[in-house]
Amino acid sequence: MKYKAVIFDLDGVICSTDEYHYLAWKSLADRLDIPFDREEYSHLLGVSRLESLELILKKSSRTFTEAEKATLAEEKNAQYRRLLDQMSPADLSEEVRDTLNRLRRAGLKLAIGSSSQNTPFILERIGLSHFFDAVADGNCITHSKPDPEVFLKAAEMIRLQPGECLVVEDARAGVTAAIRGGFDCAVMGDAREDERATWHLNTFSELLGCFSELITT
């Protein structure tokens, strides 16, 4: 078997926090009178908080100082954290839980590769704080997706080469990051039709099909 590990994106793959990101950005954009909808939000998937803010502010008629941008990013994050506060282990679907357990039982290493600085908080809310073999996130990188840094860091943490790890992503920026880093990629959700991917998943549990040599479904 080529793969010895799976590196998962978090928002939009393990859990549906992308809806909370959208609501928090939408409320900020509305307050600033900046047009923002779900289609525009789809371009922010996998992109860091400050880069996302820059993209939103481009549509404003006024300019913002660096200090104002920092305050706006903090405002969005506070709103997002209030939404995350409502999450519990019940927000981890049975499908994701069962698939992760099967992959683990098959002997694969499992890691997270997320742009989010809220990764430890989200994993704690959904009861997965101690589950993964490694967590690379927005707190330990200098370049966010589409840069491959976060996936390379995850592979390094589990002491494997990129060619031995499969990345699971839901965002084009994440697929670009995986490919630039030398990883195969399985895509779902927003990125499921991305032709650059090796595997196309309609559901999370279809990931088991990438490991048919190891797992009988």
- Could you list the residues that contact Mg ion (CB under 5 A)? 9, 11-12, 170-171
For the beta carbon of residue 96, count every other beta carbon within 10 angstroms: 19
Looking at beta carbons only, is 9 or 194 nearer to ligand B16?
9
> Smallest gap, in angstroms, from Cβ of residue 13 to ligand B16?
7
Binding site partner of 79, from ligand B16, Mg ion, none, Cβ cut-off 5-8 A by kind: none
115 makes contact, choosing from Mg ion, ligand B16, none, with CB < 5 to 8 Å by partner type, with ligand B16
Give the DSSP per-residue string, 59-113.
TSSS---HHHHHHHHHHHHHHHHHHHTT--GGGS-HHHHHHHHHHHHTT-EEEEE
Q: Does 137 participate in catalysis according to the annotation? A: no
Mapped onto helix, strand or coil, the DSSP state of residue 8 is strand
Distance in Å, CB of 15 to ligand B16, minimum? 9
From the CB of 58, what's the least distance to ligand B16, in Å?
16
Q: Which is nearer to Mg ion, 12 or 162 (CB)?
A: 12
Q: What is the spatial distance between Cα 213 and Cα 122, in angstroms, rounded to a whole number?
A: 32
Binding residues for ligand B16 (CB under 6 A)? 9-12, 18, 21, 44-49, 52, 77, 114-118, 138, 145, 171
Print burial letters for 175-188: b (CB count within 10 Å at least 16), e (below 16). Answer: bbbbbbbebbbbbb
By beta-carbon distance, which residue lies closest to Mg ion?
A: 12
- Dist CA 113 CA 186 (whole Å): 14
> Shortest distance, CB of residue 147 to ligand B16, whole angstroms?
12
85 is catalytic: no
Q: What is the Cα–Cα distance from 142 to 197, expressed in whole angstroms?
A: 25
Local structure of 215: helix, strand or coil: coil
Q: Which does 52 bind (CB under 5 to 8 A by kind): Mg ion, ligand B16, none?
A: ligand B16
Smaller CB separation from ligand B16, 44 or 158:
44
Q: Is 18 or 149 the residue whose CB approaches ligand B16 more closely? A: 18
Q: How far apart are CA 119 and CA 100, in angstroms?
A: 17
Would you please indicate which residues are annotated as catalytic (active-site) residues?
A: 9, 11
